Amino acid sequence: MSAPGERPFASSVCHTCRHLRLIESARGSVFLMCTALPRKYPPQPVLRCAAHAPVESGT
């Protein structure tokens, strides 16, 4: 189990994407959900993604 506030799969490009939604289960598991892909929960870590859209800084 990861520490509070720690991102799972830190090397994943998902963490820099605007399509990412972190989903936490009632048991404390955290899942990375993508709102841009047909497969909503891609196998992690994702190293390259055609749907990647960087989060704009300053917003």
The string of pLDDT tens digits covering residues 25-39 is 999 899 999 999 999
pLDDT at 57: 75
pLDDT at position 1 is 46
Regarding pTM above 0.85, the answer is no
- Spell out the domain ranges in the chain: 8-52
Q: How far is CA 22 from CA 9, 12, 56, in A?
A: 12, 13, 18
Mean pLDDT across the chain, nearest whole number?
89
Q: Are 41 and 9 in contact (CB under 8 A)?
A: no
Q: Which residues of the chain have pLDDT under 50?
A: 1
pLDDT recorded at residue 58: 63
